[in-house]
Structure 1
Amino acid sequence: MKIYIETHGCTFNQADSDIMAKMLSETHEIVQDMADADVIILNTCYVKLPTEQKMITQIRNIKMKYPDKKLIVGGCMVEVDPERLNKFAGDDCWIGPHKVDKINDVVDKAIKGEVVHEYGKTNLVKAGVGIKSSNSLIHILQICEGCEGQCTFCCTRLARGYLVSYPIDVLVEEAKDAISNGCKELQVTAQDTACFGNDTGESFAELLNRLGSLEGDFKIRVGMMHPKSLKGKLHDVIDAFKNNDKIFKFVHLPVQTGSDKVLTEMNRMHTLDEYKYIVNEFRKEIPDISLATDIIVGYPTETEEDFSETLDLIREIKPDIIHISKYMHRPGAISNSLDEIDHKVMKDRSHRVNDVKSEVMLENNKKYEGTTQRVLIIGEGSTGGYVGYTDTYKNVIVDNAKIGTFVNVKILEGKRTYLLAEVIQ
């Protein structure tokens, strides 16, 4: 049968789709156009309300446009909100993120006209040689699933469950296989990479050191680290970043708010001083490191003073990348019991934080003008040219380059979200 897989959301979700595609390709044909498929797998994201609405719209569109094709709904929506999903796709097959190893069985039953809803938590290890296609420039290395956080606004933990870390030896073998097959960017991925090993006794820093010691010309991008999870292991992790040239000098440390009061109410389990200490320690040991963070605007208990503290924090720590979300209730989230703030106030705050974001990101990128950088070229730009990343994971656009190679470039201009450059010999 011909199967089309559409993926939404994070890199972890993309890796789940890669696993399903690898398993299905042994007996079926994976196609790149939905119109050509007999079976459509929609791997959903459910992290925000607009995403939820997008998923429901896409389910409706697929069922209306292709009533004769078999639809299988997968991803976080299946675990987070099965009651709502049942209203729109109760007569279709489902597969939860913990059951991706059952995809062949679900597809076979769907083809026969059976309706099966395969979901629920497991301790499935999504790592190992051959579990995903390794013939890719970018390889997503899932190191653990779930987290140890209890953030009041989050529904992702309902989908992904408690922490399940995968064995270091298995992860290293998967990485070696991917690198030997042409991988140039290894994306170390989890809901919280820094909590890796807390359940098994293995060390996150050791994993990074093992990956960084592998032979080959490639780079490692470390995914999001929850600040609370770095307590007790911070300097070991910093040393791993500092001592391994293959690791991008880039950290994603979500803070969510600049108010200690709201941090407590969000149950983030770290203080603002602890967050600043983590950032400062990374910058002290690796001065040119890039910082990404996340901000939630309009948490139900956020006052104007709290919001002002968030603006002050952004101006103080000057992140290189800032992901901004407007607060919205999510299914199963603890904060659902709180009243949302006025949406006009939320919209105003969102505009104001975006203005500060633009100022800070442009200021950071302007500092790169005139410098020479080593860049990994990873693909073509959406509007022309080629896209690559510096050692600090700065997005670079050049006119001409070969995909999958490292080139030296001179930075001509720092834009808000990227660097414009030319290749030099």
Structure 2
Amino acid sequence: MARYHIETYGCTSNRGESREIERRLRDAGHHRTELDEADVAILNTCTVVEKTERNMLRRAEELEGAVADLIITGCMALAQGEEFREAGVDAQVLHWEEVPTAVTNGECPTTTPDAEPILDGVVGILPIARGCMSNCSYCITKFATGRIDSPPVEANVEKARALVHAGAKELRVTGQDTGVYGWDEGERKLPELLDRICDIEGEFRVRVGMANPGGIHGIREELADVFARNEELYDFIHLPVQSGSDTVLEEMRRQHRVEKFRDIVGTFDERLDHWTLSTDFIVGFPTETEADHEASMELLREVRPEKVNVTRFSKRPGTDAADLKGLGGTLKKERSKAMSELKREVVREAHAAMVGDRRRVLCVEQGTGDSVKCRDSAYRQVIVRDATEHGVEPGDFLDVEVTSAETVYCFAEPVRSAAERADGAPTPADD
């Protein structure tokens, strides 16, 4: 588990994003602390005037010297991220949504021992188990969670039903590794659990949290069929490969090799017409060669996941990987930059291809200003602006047409049904 220090500058929007970053970090078992005790510092920046920019650069330089890892996000990071690089600041410059994953250093999320369902707005958080079956050489989480401990399917279904009855429109099935749910009892229970949750009466969607390839591979066909027959399930899977090199995966003690990852992707490609692959890469593992790095780059080009988390390796105390001689910070930075640029190209292409499409979406939460964040059937993020004018709020299902795209999300306008047009309900096009 990481100890983090976060500083936020600027407007209310920035403060809201920092709160969301902290919520996700808290849910993953990480702890906020003072700067002198932190493993990682997060700087959420503002760029309103030139003086502010100078202050942000100065503060970034100060934080870089105080912690092992620095993450910079916010307005200046997104609009003028190159200024930090030109100033020689050794940091990851990320969109705020990428920050929580970067802090975890490729580790599994960590729920607390007494984790219970949480209803946050219209989103229900459903931890289905604690612990994992992995022994990754870089991960400190295993010291806190231990081996997998799976409650019965019926117990998790009842928790899911309670969340739906309480008003949840999106259920997020979480755990250190959802793919190994039930392994402690000698069974692979995730497909059964998901089928049972989808049978709950009501209109809602279900997102399956991170599942390591080693746990998913043996149930890939059964699991893909569960996705194919249940429209309640977002056609989305978070499958962290971590490296495109079998040599590095062996040193990481990951329970899969690249071919197993490809097998899973191929199976979902066969079963689903439209789905989203999310994956993670750790860049700069101590034994990673230039050829290993290029293998990861080539795998990214090949499978073209639509959500990619790129994390620079950092040592965690007490792990076996911490004893390895590390790569230089400059080399890790260069490899991280190269992969992040390729990632942006791949992700941008996927979202640009959505422009002009009509999609059914669920409004999940308030966005910046008068906007709402929505998810389509494959869990791609779609932003609807002027929500008040459109009469849209979290919990609504609606049909939209995608009008434009940014790197990690799209913008869309609601589409009126035939009944609405007959009623003469006004839309922006009528103005």
Structure-1-length-normalised TM-score: 0.72
- Specify the SS of the correspondent of 1:221: strand
Structure 1 gaps of 5+ residues are 1-5, 17-42, 58-95, 101-125
RMSD: 2.6
Name which of 268, 275, 278 aligns with 2:254: 268
Could you tell me which of 389, 403, 420 is aligned with 2:411? 420
Residue of structure 1 in register with 2:362 after alignment: 376
Distance 1:164 1:262, change over 3 A: same
2:402 & 2:21 partners in 1: Cα distance? 33
Q: Does 1:152 align with 2:137?
A: yes
Distance in 1 (alpha carbons) for counterparts of 2:295 and 2:268: 22
Please point out which of 383, 388, 400 is paired with 2:374.
Answer: 388
Structure 2 match to 1:24: none
The CA distance in 1 between the partners of 2:352 and 2:314, in whole Å, is 34
How is 1:12-411 mapped onto 2 (pairs within 5 angstroms)? 13-14=26-27, 44=31, 52-54=39-41, 100=114, 126-127=115-116, 132=117, 134=119, 136-202=121-187, 203-399=189-385, 400=387, 401-411=392-402
Q: Quick one: distance in 2 between partners of 1:266 and 1:15?
A: 21
Count of aligned residue pairs for this structure pair: 325
Letter in 2 for 1:417: V
User: Is residue 148–residue 195 contact of structure 1 (8 Å, CA) maintained in 2?
Assistant: yes
Deviation at 1:232, TM superposition (A): 2.1
Q: Structure 1's 221 and 340: CA in aligned 2 closer, same or farther, altered over 3 A?
A: same
Q: Which amino acid aligns with 2:394?
A: I
Deviation at 1:415, TM superposition (A): 1.6
- Distance change >3 Å, CA 342–CA 181, structure 1 → 2: same
Amino acid at match of 2:377: D
Deviations 1:364-386 (A, max 9, x none): 11111111001111122125411
The offset of 1:162, in angstroms, is: 1.1
Runs of 4+ with deviation above 3 angstroms: 6-13, 96-100, 132-136
Q: Quickly say closer, same or farther: Cα 1:177–1:99, change in 2 above 3 A.
A: closer
- One-letter code of the match for 1:14? D
8 A Cα contact 1:377 1:406, kept in partner: yes
CA distance in 2, matches of 1:229, 1:237: 11
Residue identity matched to 2:134? G
- Change in 2 beyond 3 A, CA 1:380/1:153: same
- Is the contact between residue 372 and residue 411 of structure 1 (CA under 8 Å) also seen in structure 2? yes
Offset at residue 270 of structure 1 (A):
1.1
The whole-number CA distance in structure 1 between the counterparts of 2:111 and 2:354 is 41
Deviation at 1:52, TM superposition (A): 2.7
Contact 2:111/2:130 (<8 A) preserved = no
Q: Distance in 2 between matches of 1:365 and 1:50?
A: 39
Provide the residue aligned with 1:62 in structure 2: none
Rounded Cα–Cα distance in structure 2 between residues aligned with 1:384 and 1:241: 33
1:331, CA displacement in angstroms? 1.6
Q: Tell me if structure 1 keeps the 8 A contact 2:122–2:365.
A: no
Q: Distance in 2 between matches of 1:50 and 1:251?
A: 35
SS at match of 1:270: coil
Query: Which AA in structure 2 matches 1:185?
Result: E
Tell me how far apart the structure 2 counterparts of residues 10 and 228 of structure 1 sit (CA, whole Å): 28
SS in 1 for 2:39: helix
Displacement of 1:157 in angstroms is: 1.1
User: Does the C-alpha gap of structure 1 residues 12 and 177 become closer, same or farther in structure 2, counting only changes over 3 Å?
Assistant: farther
Give the distance between the partners of 1:223 and 1:12, measured in 2 at CA. Answer: 15
Q: Is the 8 A contact 1:158 1:332 kept in 2?
A: no
TM-score by length of 2: 0.71
Once residues 359 and 135 of structure 1 are traced to their aligned partners in structure 2, the CA distance between those partners, rounded to angstroms, is 33
Letter in 2 for 1:320: E
- Whether the 8 Å CA contact 1:184–1:219 is kept in 2: the answer is yes
SS in 2 for 1:165: coil
Evaluate the alpha carbon distance shift between residue 188 and residue 317 of structure 1 in structure 2; reply closer, same or farther with a 3 A threshold: same
Verify the 8 A CA contact 1:370 1:410 in the aligned structure 2.
yes
Mapped partners of 1:229, 1:416: distance in 2: 30
Cα pair 2:366 2:393 within 8 Å, conserved: no
List runs of 5+ in structure 2 lacking aligned partners: 1-18, 43-62, 64-109, 417-431
Write the letter of the residue equivalent to 1:411: V
| Segment of structure 1 superposing worse, 402-411 or 377-386 | 377-386
Q: Specify whether residues 381 and 50 from structure 1 end up closer, same or farther in structure 2 by C-alpha distance, changes over 3 A only.
A: farther
Distance 1:179 1:402, change over 3 A: same
CA–CA separation in structure 2 for the residues paired with 1:285 and 1:193: 20
CA distance in 1, matches of 2:302, 2:403: 27
Secondary structure of 1:281's match?
A: helix
2:172 maps to a residue whose letter is: Q
Secondary structure in 2 matching 1:220 = strand
